[in-house]
Amino acid sequence: MQRTYKIKTAFLVNFVEKKMKILWKDPNSCSAMIKNKNFFLTESNDKYEIKNKIPRFVDKKNYTDAFGMQWNYFRKTQLDSYSKFPLSEQRLKRCLGDNLFSTLKGKLVLEAGCGAGRFTEIFLSSDANVVSFDYSNAVDANYASNSDKGDVFIFQGDLYDIPFPDEYFDYIFCFGVLQHTPNPLKAYNSIYSKLKKGGSISIDYYLKFDKPTPWSTPKYFWRPVTAKMDPQKLLRIIKLYIPIYLPIDTFIRKIPKIGSLITAIIPIPCWNYVSIGLNKAQRVEWAIMDTFDALSATYDTPKTLEEVREMVGVDNTGHEKFEIFYGSNGVVVNILKK
């Protein structure tokens, strides 16, 4: 039985690769690679491991290890199919707009920074052909949840060295990622280079606030400490205090006019989703997950809308159409490439 499953899985992986006409390139030299059963071989005889059906083009340990731990622990939490709320789908439609969202069917989509695959699931339900990757081993969570839901190929890779030719994808999606890289501009330019002429790209970026908010002030007060902590220890602490503090935080937030300000100046990070339809248990789970997300990342560099505008160069003549607005995690950008 186990052997039959392995043969079937290998067949499906190869079938999807051929159907999507995936053309792998060495992330370092951009030369072609030969795929073997257990690794990719480059022209310079470098090997990249294929582990658990997932190609790995990164070091086993890197600065996103906390994210990998997080998304394998909360593998299903954000999936619409698991929560029974269309939160991911609604967020995509709000940020992309109906016109862009409705054109995804049949498109070759690159999802840069997939996490546990909450948006991978939506792209697949839209009948897109999806190539999805993450720098962390969150790809294992994504593969477990989405590998059988459509035409998808998942790999572990680096935003700076994406193993595909330039101008290859019809659509590129990168949410919740760029602010967590050592060099957001370099990361953005790298993914943009993989976009075909006439294709579209969507990114979001954390917003830099100029006044106290519940989503930024407690977080950046503690991050100099928490970002250096052992992720397992940090998660244990958050799991300990969130169930106790969440009802208190909820009560304070509901105080008319001043509730939000009070929670901003209290130095207790708490990602409290009061009014998105989650039940009590889900709110606790999401609060633990996203509080850990906020405190554990190695890099977290928010920007103002104008700084994001400058980073993506939306006045560049290479853009046929663009929009930039407040939304999602802060700032959203949609660009159509000439």
Please state, as a whole number, how many other Cβ atoms lie within 10 Å of the Cβ of residue 256: 5
The whole-angstrom separation of Cα 163 and Cα 126 is 25
Q: What pTM was estimated for this model as a whole?
A: 0.91
The rounded percent of the chain whose pLDDT value lies above 70 is 92
Instruction: Give per-residue pLDDT as tens, 269-294.
Output: 999 999 899 999 999 999 999 999 99
Q: Helix crossing, 139-146 with 118-125: angle to 10°?
A: 30
Tell me the C-alpha distance between 252 and 192, whole Å. 43
Rounded Cα distance between 15 and 21, Å, is 10
Q: How confident is the model at residue 315 (pLDDT cuts 50, 70, 90)?
A: low
Average pLDDT of span 114-138: 97
Q: Contact 196/170 with Cβ under 8 angstroms?
A: yes
How far apart CA 143 and CA 161 sit, in angstroms, is: 21
Residue type at position 32: A
Pick from 76-90, 146-160, 315-329: least confident: 315-329
Domain coordinates in residue numbering, the chain: 2-64+74-207+303-337, 217-296
* pLDDT value of residue 19: 64
**pLDDT tens, 240-251?**
999 999 999 999
CATH architecture of 2-64+74-207+303-337: 3-Layer(aba) Sandwich (3.40)
Find the radius of gyration of the CA atoms of the chain.
20
Q: At what angle do helices 280-296 and 217-226 cross, to 10 degrees?
A: 60
In the DSSP assignment, the letter for residue 179 is G
